[in-house]
């Protein structure tokens, strides 16, 4: 059983719920972010709604990690990569003047607060792997 299992289940349940709700909100009102930051409304609101759909789907995956943290490391690793790369793009948009500095607030709740708990989970999940175990297994047959 993975170390700190209860903590990891709680973190990924919270991340899953947050992402699903954020995604639903962004699909229902794809202009909210632009109003919130004081930017002009987007003439491509469907793109932000699509982002909301993707974020919501990540939430479903995080809920699966909460259900079975012993087998969620790949989902968490991809999620953490997005939570690091996304703010990199945001910093670029702000630095080039394409978006206002207020847009960075999006990264606080969507990305930064999850870095440490996802990192702790990945360290615990890595420690859980037996030495010499294959990275990927065929889940249907139990072999690699």
From CA 72, how far away is CA 137, in angstroms rounded? 13
Containing domain of residue 55, as a range?
Answer: 5-126
Q: Identify whether 102 is part of a domain.
A: yes
The predicted pLDDT at position 86 comes to 94
The predicted pLDDT at position 80 comes to 97
| Ramachandran angles phi, psi of 138, nearest 5° | -75, 105
Number of structural domains in the chain: 1
The predicted pLDDT at position 131 comes to 56
Q: Specify whether the CB–CB gap between 80 and 40 falls below 8 A.
A: no
Which pTM value belongs to this model?
0.84
pLDDT in tens, 86-113: 999 999 999 999 999 999 989 998 999 9
The predicted pLDDT at position 126 comes to 86
Q: Which residues of the chain carry a pLDDT beneath 70?
A: 129-144
Q: Identify whether 134 is part of a domain.
A: no
Q: How many angstroms from the chain centroid is the CA of residue 89?
A: 15
The predicted pLDDT at position 137 comes to 53
Q: Identify whether 139 is part of a domain.
A: no
């Amino acid at each position: 059983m993975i170390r700190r299992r209860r903590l990891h289940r709680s973190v990924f349940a919270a991340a899953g719920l947050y992402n699903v709700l954020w995604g639903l909100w962004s699909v229902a009102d794809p202009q909210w972010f632009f109003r919130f930051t004081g930017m002009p409304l987007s003439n491509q609101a469907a793109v932000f709604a699509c982002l909301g759909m993707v974020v919501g789907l990540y939430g479903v995956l995080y809920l699966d990690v909460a259900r079975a943290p012993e087998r969620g490391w790949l989902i968490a690793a991809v999620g953490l990569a997005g939570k690091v790369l996304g703010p990199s793009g945001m910093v670029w948009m702000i630095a080039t003047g394409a978006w206002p500095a207020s847009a960075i607030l999006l990264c606080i709740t969507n990305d930064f607060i999850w870095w440490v708990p996802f990192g702790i989970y990945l360290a615990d999940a890595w420690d859980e792997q037996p030495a010499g175990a294959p990275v990927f297994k065929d889940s249907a047959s139990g072999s690699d």
